[in-house]
Amino acid sequence: MRIEVLLDLKTRLGESPVWDVEQQRLWWVDSLDGRLFACNAQGGAIKSWDVRQKIGSFALRQNGEGAVVALQNGVHLLDFASGELTLLHHPEADRPFNRLNDGKVDRQGRFLFGSMDMREEEPSGALYRLDADLSLHVLKKDIIVSNAPCWSPSGETFYFADTWTGEICAWDYNTATGDLSGERVFCHVDRSEGGAADGATVDSEGYLWNALVYAGKLVRYTPEGKVDRIIEMPVKKVTSVMFGGENLDVLYVTSMAQPPLPRFPEDNQLRGSLFAIYDLGVTGVAERRFAG
C-alpha cells in the first residue's frame, strides 16, 4: 500500500468525491469555497465550476451535461456549459443556520442527501431523497450533521451517520421505492482521539470505509460492523473516500485545510490535499449517475 498526494489544492473543505466510470473522471467539491472540481485518474485535466454558495454534495446527471447540486440554499440543477443554476427545492428556507451536506446516488439512480446545522449543535437537519421525476421526499429528521450515505453492493442496505452521535447506522433499503426501514446501529465510532464519522463508501466485498475526521484515520468495517483495518493518513482532517481509477482499485481521499469552526484543531502543510491510495488489494463498486 502507498499513499500519494494526487493534488495539493488546499481545499478549505474538500468533500464528496465521486468516480464517474463513464467519463473516467474523479469529481469532488470544496464545500466552503463553493466549487465543484473534476480531474482524470492521475490528477490532470482539472476543471472547476463556481456555484457561488456552500456546496455539500452533488449527483452527476444521466446525460453527463450537468449535475444536481446540494447547496446552502437548496437543491439546484447545474448546467456545465453555462454554469447556470436552476432551483428545484429549498426545503429548509426557514432554517438560516442550516445547509445541505453529504449525499450520494443509490443503485437505481435516486439522489439521497442530508442537511446540517452549520454550528454543529442543533438537530435541525434532515435526510432527503430526490427521485428521477425531481420530486423531493423527507426520510429522516432531527439530524445535527448528515454524513456517510452509502449502500451495500446489492443496494439493499443503506448506511448513514449523524456525525457527532458516535454511531454509523444501517437501514433496510427498498430498492423499488427508495424507502427506509429497520434502523439499527451498524457500528460505534472510536472517538477517543477526537475523531468523528465523516464520508464513507462501500467496497465490492461489502466492507464499509469511513473517514474518521480529526483523527486522521480511515477505518474499514466488516459487513457486521467490526473494525477490519485502519489506515493512518498524513493529515488529521480527512473528510471522505471513494474508489476509482480504471479498475476501481484506487482509494481517493479528500481533506480540509480550514476547520469549519474555531473549536476544531489545525493541521499540517498537507491539509486540504486530495490523496490517492494504491495497492490496497480491494476494489470499489461503480457509482450510478442521477436518473433525472
- pLDDT tens, residue by residue, 188-212: 999 998 899 999 999 999 999 999 9
Q: What is the pLDDT of residue 63?
A: 85
Range of the domain at 67: 2-278
Q: Which residues are annotated as a binding site?
A: 15, 99, 101, 147, 198
Query: Does residue 290 form part of some domain?
Result: no
How far apart are the C-alpha atoms of 106 and 149, rounded to whole Å?
9
pLDDT, residue 274, reads: 98
Distance between CA 172 and CA 2 in Å, rounded?
35
CATH number reported for the structural domain that contains residue 256 in this entry: 2.120.10.30
In a domain, 265, yes or no: yes
With respect to residue 287, please indicate whether it lies within any of the assigned structural domains: no
> What SS3 class is residue 164?
helix
Q: What is the pLDDT of residue 194?
A: 87
- What pLDDT shows up at residue 62? 95
> Is residue 288 in a domain?
no
* 273 alpha-carbon distance from chain centroid: 16
Q: Which residues of the chain have pLDDT under 50?
A: none
Count structural domains, the chain.
Answer: 1
285 within a domain of the structure (yes/no): no
What is the per-residue pLDDT for 267? Answer: 77
Give the span between the Cα atoms of 195 and 172, in whole angstroms: 27
- The answer to whether the predicted template modeling score (pTM) of the entire model surpasses 0.85 is yes
Q: Which residues are annotated as a binding site for substrate?
A: 99, 101
Task: Decide if 292 is inside a domain.
Answer: no
pLDDT of residue 264: 66
List 173's β-bridge partners, or say none.
180
Strand-pair category, 274-278 with 250-255: antiparallel
Chain-centre distance of CA 163, in angstroms?
A: 12
> What is the per-residue pLDDT for 261?
67
Give the residue numbers of the binding site for a divalent metal cation: 15, 147, 198
Q: How many Å separate Cα 43 from the centre of its chain?
A: 19
* 3-state DSSP percent of the chain in helix, strand and coil, to 5: 0, 55, 45
Q: Which of 162, 198, 249, 267 is catalytic?
A: 198
Domain assignment present for residue 59? The answer is yes
Q: Please write the tens of the pLDDT for every residue from 257-266.
A: 987 666 666 6
Which amino acid, residue 126?
A
For the question of residue 198 being annotated catalytic, the response is: yes
Is the residue at 101 inside a domain? yes
Phi then psi for 164, rounded to 5 degrees? -90, 5
